[in-house]
Structure 1
Amino acid sequence: MAAASGTVLHLPKPSSESVIPVFNIPAITWALTAVLLLSGSYHFLQATKSHQRTDQINKSLHALMNVLMAAMLWNLVPSTTLAQTAVLTGAALWFVIQAGARPEFKTLCAGNQGRLKCLYHSLSMAGAAVMIAMMGQVTTGHVPAGGMSMPNAHHSMAAAAPSTAAATFDHSPGLAILLTVLFGAAAVVFILLLVRFRVTKTTLRDTAASRLSVRAEHGLEALGAAVMAMMFATMS
């Protein structure tokens, strides 16, 4: 960008560190990244194995959400924040449409349990979109007006970053706390479902593969909800 005085202003490259202090601790960041990528890989494999188009789309959206959340932990590709938010918002709407579909559409969410499941998945997508949007507000820098030299611009932006982050989080504590409670409760529910499923007698029509799939799904849902709760808790 050319300044009025003829000097060239070189903007600093985005930091690879997270703007949330707790996620700058390598052990926590790597652990959460591993959980998100594990869940994303599982959903991707399930999408490739499924023969139903709707199920393929749903699993692929879950895989994409987990990858985007993992990328957010490392503050990767911040320039695509708007696109990521738009995709996740569209995914949330897609699950809402499925939850409200007429009963004759058997390929969409059917039954009360299926509709509740789709509503939760819609909440997950919306929560991820909100989190990425909040992080995008923090990491967005503003180019100072006028012909400021490179050293002065660099120091001004560096000094403004902490105050920008603080202002952003100060304006969203209520939403972050609400989402922390919701996803924390969801994690507890999925853990209870996992435990209950393990102690419940299975019927003859249940195969070993289906039982393993349900257990894996409940376990990953519990982990995913716990990660979301933890991330929103640090933003409250």
Structure 2
Amino acid sequence: MFNIPALTWTLTAVLLLGGSYNLLQAARSRHLTDRVNNSLHALMNALMTAMLWNLGPSTMLAQIGILAGAALWFTIQAVARPQFKLLCAGSQGRLKCAYHSLTMTGAATMIALMTTHTPTNATPTAATQDMAMPMPHHTMTAAHNTTHTTAPTAATGLGNAPAILLTLFFAAAAATFLILLLRRRTTTTHHQATSKHSTRTEHGLEALGAATMALMFATMTA
């Protein structure tokens, strides 16, 4: 996905770190819902890692379906009645589930956008091969104009608008989680440090994850 190996490896490390933490939380959790939620996050990080390395392109529809199902699951939790104690409880819990639903939706959208960017990259190559063949001058000119007219339109119409919006959304989310992390560090006393450690870790990983998503979407706006 990126032409800079160092950036690809850095994002891979961040995604694998987040996925490993989610798997650890899933194994430690005593509630089935928490296990499912953390497992879904670990799976999402794995799919994002595979996308970075262009792995499993033939399973894109299955990946989108899984992530869409996960988004629906978190949406159900966010809007569930308070009587269902196993699902998201309280206003903070509902906001958290709503954000995770948007995260899953963003990941599915990213995979879908990847399919629209691939043909665009292949267009110049096909055009070059056609122009290399002997043909009349007016035919070459028509093919050249058609290529330059069609490719930018497809890329702009299908990719740029949602990619820009999601870049801004996840950049704002990363800033929000970073503010929450810094605020907890300054207001937490020594006595509360142990009980708040898990929350700080989650905020830190959420900030890294949101920044990673924002950066990946930003590459699709060019």
Number of the residue aligned with 2:54: 75
Number of the residue aligned with 1:123: 102
Number of the residue aligned with 1:184: 171
Q: Cα offset for 1:228?
A: 0.6
Answer yes or no: is the 8 Å Cα contact 1:134–1:168 preserved in 2.
no
Answer yes or no: is the 8 Å Cα contact 1:169–1:235 preserved in 2.
no
TM-score normalised by the chain length of structure 1: 0.78
Q: Does 1:217 align with 2:222?
A: no
Answer yes or no: is the 8 Å Cα contact 1:138–1:165 preserved in 2.
no
Give me the whole-angstrom Cα distance separating, in 2, the residues matched to 1:212 and 1:222: 15
Letter in 2 for 1:181: L
Give me the whole-angstrom Cα distance separating, in 1, the residues matched to 2:115 and 2:57: 7
Q: Cα offset for 1:85?
A: 0.4
In structure 1, the gaps of 5 or more residues are 1-17, 142-154
Higher helix fraction: Structure 1 or Structure 2?
Answer: 2
Give me the whole-angstrom Cα distance separating, in 1, the residues matched to 2:30 and 2:174: 29
* 18, 37, 43: which one aligns with 2:22: 43
Q: Does 1:32 align with 2:32?
A: no
Letter in 1 for 2:88: C
Give me the whole-angstrom Cα distance separating, in 2, the residues matched to 1:224 and 1:168: 29
Calculate percent identity across the aligned residue pairs: 61
Number of the residue aligned with 2:135: none
Q: Cα offset for 1:106?
A: 1.0
TM-score normalised by the chain length of structure 2: 0.82
Q: Structure 1 runs of 4+ off > 6 angstroms?
A: 157-160, 162-165
Give me the whole-angstrom Cα distance separating, in 2, the residues matched to 1:165 and 1:60: 39
Q: Cα offset for 1:174?
A: 1.4
Deviations 1:17-36 (A, max 9, x none): x3xxxx12100100000000
Give me the whole-angstrom Cα distance separating, in 2, the residues matched to 1:93 and 1:218: 23
1:134 and 1:121, CA in 2 relative to 1: closer, same or farther beyond 3 A?
same
1:38 and 1:165, CA in 2 relative to 1: closer, same or farther beyond 3 A?
farther
Number of the residue aligned with 2:219: 234
Q: Cα offset for 1:157?
A: 9.2
Question: Relative contact order (C-alpha < 8 Å, sep 6+): which is higher?
Answer: 1
